[in-house]
């Protein structure tokens, strides 16, 4: 009854293959971007952890140096020489961290003020964290 129409060659252009290649390329770029973001976040977490550990090492060093300068038993304390305290920690949480405390004296009239500068260091290389804590005592 009805004559069969032959499809024209111009209507049979293959659009599926270029579209599939485009979608695969876009998805691959998204995966690569997410992977790089995740890697950067992991590196920042490690550096943040090392920085926090270094802060606590510096804080511990300054407290130990204060105990040397002002002993609890009332006896004469250590002299304020640089460095007044150095320690490498082996306890859990600060294992591998170190503290180095330097001291300086300021005399204002009859009052002596001590300034302790504590440097805490944890890790090495790119993963190294370093923090400074300064304490003034009289």
**What pLDDT sits at residue 8?**
60
Domain boundaries, the chain: 15-137
Q: Tens digits of per-residue pLDDT, 90-137?
A: 989 899 899 999 999 888 888 888 999 999 999 888 888 999 999 998
Higher pLDDT, 59 or 12: 59
Q: Is pTM beyond 0.85 here?
A: no
Q: Tens digits of per-residue pLDDT, 34-81?
A: 988 888 887 888 888 999 999 999 999 999 999 888 888 878 777 887
* Full 3-state SS string of 32-95: HHHHHHHHHHHHHHHHHHHHHHHHHHHHHHHHHHHHHHCCCCCCCCCCCCCCCEEEECCCCCCC
Confidence of residue 1 (pLDDT cuts 50, 70, 90): low
Confidence of residue 12 (pLDDT cuts 50, 70, 90): low
Q: Which of 52, 65, 71 is CA-nearest to residue 116?
A: 65
Higher pLDDT, 30 or 74: 30
Statement: residue 10 has pLDDT above 80 = no
Statement: residue 9 has pLDDT above 60 = no
**What pLDDT sits at residue 43?**
80
């Amino acid at each position: 009854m009805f004559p069969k129409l032959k499809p024209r060659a111009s209507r049979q252009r293959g659009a599926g293959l270029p579209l599939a290649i485009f979608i695969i390329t876009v998805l691959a770029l998204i995966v690569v971007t997410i992977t790089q973001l995740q890697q950067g976040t992991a590196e920042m977490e490690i550096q943040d952890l090392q920085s926090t550990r270094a802060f606590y090492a510096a804080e511990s060093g300054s407290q130990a140096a204060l105990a040397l300068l002002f002993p609890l038993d009332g006896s004469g304390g250590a002299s304020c020489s640089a460095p007044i305290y150095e320690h490498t920690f082996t306890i859990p949480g600060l294992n591998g961290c170190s503290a180095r405390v330097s001291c300086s004296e300021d005399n204002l009239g009859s009052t002596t003020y001590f300034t302790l500068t504590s440097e805490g260091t944890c890790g090495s290389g790119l993963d190294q964290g370093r923090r400074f804590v300064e304490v003034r005592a009289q």
